[in-house]
Structure 1
Amino acid sequence: MRRIGKVVMAAGAALGLAIGIAVVVTYWPAPSPPRQQVEPAAPLRIDNVTVVDVDTGALSSDRSILIVDGKIAQITGADEISELSSLRRIDAAGQYVVPGYNNMHSHILTAAHPNAGLALMLSEGVTGFRQMNGSDRLLKLRREGRLPLNENTPRLLATPGDLVMPFNVASVADAETLVTSQKRQGADFIKVGATTPPLLYAILSAARKEAIPVVGHLPEGIDPVRASQSGFHSIEHLGPGDTMWIGCSAKKATLMKEAELNPSFAAPPFEIPTFAQKLLAPFVSRVMARRLLNPAAFEKEEGVRRLQAAFDSYEPQQCRALAQELARNGTWMVPTLVRLRTQYLQDSPEYRTDPSIPYLEPSAYSAWIKVADVFAALPESSRATFREGYDRSLALTAVLADEAVPMMTGTDGSHQAPGLSMKQEFQELARAGLSPLKILQMTTRDPARFPGRTATMGSVAVGKDADLVLLSENPTSDVANLGRIAGVVRSGHYHSRDDLELMRQRVARAHGRLE
């Protein structure tokens, strides 16, 4: 029984860290947006606004935007705009309009209280999101239009089915069955995590046959170049772990073999029957919930040593060559720097006073603090490696941007821990050296390019969905201005600054943080 318990823990760890991958854009199926319960909006007119071209950063001042049936109908001078009955007019003098923000790495729909998190996402300008963990049930709810999505929440852009992990995929045959089944249920992509190299490549092969993307973590022992060439299209969290660093190391072959033979999360040594998987899944999920809050807090010393060895043998030109290969193959990156920061710097005092704390569920924040205490008790040598890891993560993000690797903005947050807001992610991307315009593109234009939805989103243009953010300052001149939100339009519904603040206050009151 003790042996089985260890197997369950290992499988649970794989579940906890499974974070998806994606196949080359050509494998992405024709977009078919999920059903969402959005009430029709009355015609809306936004006057005297400056339109930001997210491709070039050019500004067009004194524009009027007419929105009808949730779409942008006209963009012109104020005296040329069509007059319609029941027209609501917003004077946006001095404001700038950009496409709605997209959080391309979120787990909000599987949070304990998704409604609160969805409201907070909209209040920070997010009008679209990619859900990064799913299930048969989530896909069924989406098919039936029963997800909690409406004009007061962001739009769901894509979601997977069950996570791919050793716990539920033990053979090549299983890989093919899982991919086929998830596509049939309506999954937009396959999400792969802490699995073995042979099973990863089996999933990629099956996904190519089924023309469905694969996205997420690079499992330990995987060569990033080979994964990219095989169709691994969207790498989350810069790897995570040591995979990308081993790819940049002069000791690449040695460290890669070591990582494959000694993974942080081992696969079960035998196949677990389907009925047992279903019985054990809730238990595994509960057992691993604590570890999920910060895998670094529970990293074995051997894993930390390997990460440090990769840092110590870092070859700048080899890393640039790796980035160039990713760009050549169209492999995307979603850095989620705020997630890496809370992992590697979890003992930072700022997380005890973070401004987002009033909006966090008290029980979730309490659990996070307990794990922070575990992290703080790690050997100083381990925490020193992790501190170096975050600085290197910023530098790697800059290399990826310099070499034109396509990137998108995401936080990995469901408002269950401090420091995971879009505004903070913008600031960390700027610390990595990215320009305000580049960050704006990663948040608006590029999430439209990723799934091939540029016809409906990603720019402020006639015919596009009316998902917009109004800003009080020029977003191309200072990254801080991306967070100075004056209003949000979601599918033609206008939410003023006061409306958004009221949303935040309601969440805080629901959590007992405000009287």
Structure 2
Amino acid sequence: MLLTALTGTAPCPCCAYAHAQAAMPSMPLRGITSWLTGMASAPAAVAAPVPPRDLRIENVTIVDPRDGSKARGMSIAITLGRITDIFPTGSKQLSPQVQVVDGTGKFVVPGYNDMHSHVLELPDPSGSLALMLAEGVTGFRQMSGSPALLAARRAGKLPIGELAPALLETPGSLLTPFNAGSADAVIEEIRRQKAQGADFVKVGMIAPEVFFVALEEGRKQGIALLGHLQEGTDALDATAAGFRSVEHLGPGSTVWICCSDDEAELRADSYRREVIKAPPFKIPFLETLVMKKLGKMLINPSAFAKPGDVDRLQRAIHSFNPDKGHAVAERFREDGSWHVPTMVRLRTQEYAELTEYEQDEMLAYMPARAVKNWREVTARFKALPATMRHAFRDAYPRQLELAKLLCDSGVRMMAGTDGGSYLGPGLTLKQEFAELALAGISPLRILQMATVDPADYLGRSDAMGRVAIGYDADLLLLDADPLARVEHLHGIAAVVRAGAYHSAQALDTLRRTVAEKRGTLH
């Protein structure tokens, strides 16, 4: 009955799978995409961008995101995608062959990194990639994959062109009950993804006993597991066992239960939560079939929420103990776990009825069909019982407070949107920065979450995340001091990606092109 009642396609499947585990525990196969069975054919080869031979940006203020220090009146020399020199403007002779940009009055920071994106789920991601570049994203971590995606990367055939940020990392198939339904199965799947060249393994929803087997196997194979903490498990046990990156503040009640005065009762309730089980026999193409039917649910899992799950989250939040919260944050810090809160994803789910989304700038770039599906799901959210909608409205400010607590406690955090695949309006890095600022996080700390922290996470602190000699020439020219106001982080005068210069006018042209083509996107 469920399968025949639902229609739609999945704009952001793998991540929404986990959001939905807090909302709809009984929904089968949530978030499993056609990536699990592979793409029908590999995308055509895309030529690597060819930057200009030399570029020189004159008379700028360079901001160091490590400590917020500023070097004024500086010139940046770039050759073949690398920063080759930095010096006071006017102190060195200018070659006539160099492309020169007058940056007087501008501030230069490293390009931003969106560490939670699903952009490569689109059949043609070029539009979304261009929009990411236009808002200053020069690198992204793909949070959903497949054997076919990994094979395309190995062959140099990913559909990423010149007007796109760099792919920093990607997993293989999402771990679900269908490829990780037992200890033996999850061990086999992790070994398979390691051999396929996955950078990490993404956890969607697996049984608690399988979850810890997976963490141990990941440790043995030298490949990180990250993604979504599992209901029915202790978040602190997970990070202590090596769960590397926690997405969406959990999601659901997982972290909140650890901070609650009613921890024992709430955890027992989460253990009783119905879990998804794989069928006793293999059904060909089942994942693809169900994913097609469940597409609309993934636009906003909160619209399909079960009252019991919402009640558990609300009880956990209302019984929050600040002392326990700080102790949990300290444990996360000691464990070395990373957190990508994706506040914009939580906000668009829990505040879905806000009229501001009807005027959101992203609507101009979304395909008409995607806008129609989003409005239908939003109407369903508005029809939820008032008590449930009130619980969601009540949860979000507290989630902002939790993000601030983690940040103030020294927990390692990165910026991410959960966007990139036309899921719905509001999922931009600009809005993520605004939400982090609303939580009380400083512009400098937000800048760090998008630059030096991702570099540290990736083990690339010697090549990215700073404006320094020998580093990647992925830069932003900003109109005003980015440390003065969070809004200044998105006053972008130009983007330099791999040494190629894109003016504000060129970026506006990119946006217009995407908007004009939105009717042809599917």
TM-score by length of 2: 0.90
Please state whether the residue corresponding to 2:251 is helix, strand or coil: coil
Report the Cα distance in structure 1 between the residues aligned to 2:147 and 2:154, rounded to whole angstroms. 11
Report the Cα distance in structure 1 between the residues aligned to 2:208 and 2:31, rounded to whole angstroms. 13
Report the Cα distance in structure 1 between the residues aligned to 2:209 and 2:280, rounded to whole angstroms. 15
Q: How does 1:330-341 map to 2 (within 5 A)?
A: 330-341=336-347
Q: CA deviation at 1:202?
A: 1.1
Could you tell me which residue of structure 1 aligns to residue 431 of structure 2?
424
- The answer for unaligned runs of 5 or more in structure 1 is 19-34
1:447 aligned onto 2:454: yes
Report the Cα distance in structure 2 between the residues aligned to 1:10 and 1:167, rounded to whole angstroms. 14
1:107 aligned onto 2:118: yes
Of 408, 412, 420, the residue aligned with 1:406 is 412
Q: CA deviation at 1:2?
A: 8.9
1:134 aligned onto 2:113: no
Could you tell me which residue of structure 2 aligns to residue 479 of structure 1?
486
Could you tell me which residue of structure 1 aligns to residue 41 of structure 2?
none
1:55 aligned onto 2:66: yes
Report the Cα distance in structure 1 between the residues aligned to 2:470 and 2:346, rounded to whole angstroms. 38
Q: How does 1:355-504 map to 2 (within 5 A)?
A: 355-414=361-420, 415-504=422-511
- Counterpart contact for 2:3–2:290, Cα < 8 Å: no
1:267 aligned onto 2:276: yes
Report the Cα distance in structure 2 between the residues aligned to 1:110 and 1:260, rounded to whole angstroms. 32
Q: CA deviation at 1:330?
A: 0.6
1:345 aligned onto 2:384: no
Report the Cα distance in structure 2 between the residues aligned to 1:175 and 1:103, rounded to whole angstroms. 28
- Counterpart contact for 1:9–1:284, Cα < 8 Å: no
Amino acid at match of 2:385: P
Q: CA deviation at 1:498?
A: 0.2
Amino acid at match of 2:226: V
Amino acid at match of 1:304: V
- Counterpart contact for 1:336–1:425, Cα < 8 Å: yes
Distance 1:2 1:285, change over 3 A: closer
Of 26, 29, 32, the residue aligned with 1:15 is 32
Could you tell me which residue of structure 1 aligns to residue 56 of structure 2?
45
Please state whether the residue corresponding to 1:500 is helix, strand or coil: helix
Could you tell me which residue of structure 2 aligns to residue 125 of structure 1?
136
List per-residue Cα deviations over 1:257-312 (Å, max 9, x = no partner). 2112214xx22265443xx3x52121121122111111111111111111121122
- Counterpart contact for 2:61–2:105, Cα < 8 Å: yes
- Counterpart contact for 1:74–1:81, Cα < 8 Å: no
Amino acid at match of 2:160: L
1:316 aligned onto 2:327: no
Report the Cα distance in structure 1 between the residues aligned to 2:314 and 2:247, rounded to whole angstroms. 21
Report the Cα distance in structure 1 between the residues aligned to 2:318 and 2:237, rounded to whole angstroms. 23
Report the Cα distance in structure 2 between the residues aligned to 1:471 and 1:36, rounded to whole angstroms. 29
Amino acid at match of 1:331: S
Report the Cα distance in structure 2 between the residues aligned to 1:8 and 1:375, rounded to whole angstroms. 18
Distance 1:5 1:424, change over 3 A: closer
Of 83, 97, 108, the residue aligned with 1:72 is 83
Q: CA deviation at 1:111?
A: 2.0
Could you tell me which residue of structure 1 aligns to residue 43 of structure 2?
none
- Counterpart contact for 2:32–2:288, Cα < 8 Å: no
Computed over aligned residues only, the root mean square deviation of the Cα atoms, in angstroms, reads 2.2
Q: CA deviation at 1:396?
A: 0.2
Of 104, 119, 123, the residue aligned with 1:93 is 104
- Counterpart contact for 2:59–2:72, Cα < 8 Å: yes
Amino acid at match of 2:424: A
Q: CA deviation at 1:507?
A: 0.4
Report the Cα distance in structure 2 between the residues aligned to 1:44 and 1:2, rounded to whole angstroms. 58
1:221 aligned onto 2:232: yes
Report the Cα distance in structure 2 between the residues aligned to 1:219 and 1:282, rounded to whole angstroms. 23
Q: CA deviation at 1:3?
A: 11
Report the Cα distance in structure 2 between the residues aligned to 1:396 and 1:383, rounded to whole angstroms. 20
Please state whether the residue corresponding to 1:13 is helix, strand or coil: coil
Distance 1:458 1:3, change over 3 A: closer
Could you tell me which residue of structure 2 aligns to residue 207 of structure 1?
218
List per-residue Cα deviations over 1:102-160 (Å, max 9, x = no partner). 00000000124311000000000000000000001111111111112233100000000
- Counterpart contact for 2:55–2:100, Cα < 8 Å: yes
Q: CA deviation at 1:247?
A: 1.2
State the identity %. Answer: 43
Tell which deviates more after alignment, 279-288 or 319-328: 279-288
- Counterpart contact for 1:176–1:202, Cα < 8 Å: yes
Report the Cα distance in structure 2 between the residues aligned to 1:194 and 1:5, rounded to whole angstroms. 24
- Counterpart contact for 2:436–2:446, Cα < 8 Å: yes
- Counterpart contact for 2:181–2:278, Cα < 8 Å: no
Could you tell me which residue of structure 2 aligns to residue 285 of structure 1?
291
Please state whether the residue corresponding to 2:130 is helix, strand or coil: helix
Report the Cα distance in structure 1 between the residues aligned to 2:182 and 2:281, rounded to whole angstroms. 11
Report the Cα distance in structure 2 between the residues aligned to 1:48 and 1:452, rounded to whole angstroms. 31
Report the Cα distance in structure 1 between the residues aligned to 2:95 and 2:184, rounded to whole angstroms. 59
Please state whether the residue corresponding to 2:252 is helix, strand or coil: coil
TM-score by length of 1: 0.92
Amino acid at match of 2:490: G
Of 171, 182, 185, the residue aligned with 1:174 is 185
List per-residue Cα deviations over 1:217-242 (Å, max 9, x = no partner). 11111111101100011000000111
Q: CA deviation at 1:15?
A: 3.1
1:255 aligned onto 2:266: yes
Amino acid at match of 1:450: Y
Please state whether the residue corresponding to 1:11 is helix, strand or coil: coil
Amino acid at match of 2:146: S
Q: CA deviation at 1:362?
A: 1.5
List per-residue Cα deviations over 1:363-422 (Å, max 9, x = no partner). 112111111111100001001111111111100011001100000000001233101111
Report the Cα distance in structure 2 between the residues aligned to 1:237 and 1:314, rounded to whole angstroms. 18
Tell which deviates more after alignment, 37-46 or 323-332: 37-46
Q: CA deviation at 1:84?
A: 4.4
Could you tell me which residue of structure 1 aligns to residue 209 of structure 2?
198
Please state whether the residue corresponding to 2:29 is helix, strand or coil: helix
Could you tell me which residue of structure 1 aligns to residue 156 of structure 2?
145
Report the Cα distance in structure 2 between the residues aligned to 1:489 and 1:92, rounded to whole angstroms. 13
Distance 1:505 1:175, change over 3 A: same
Distance 1:117 1:14, change over 3 A: closer
Q: CA deviation at 1:248?
A: 1.1
Report the Cα distance in structure 1 between the residues aligned to 2:26 and 2:3, rounded to whole angstroms. 10
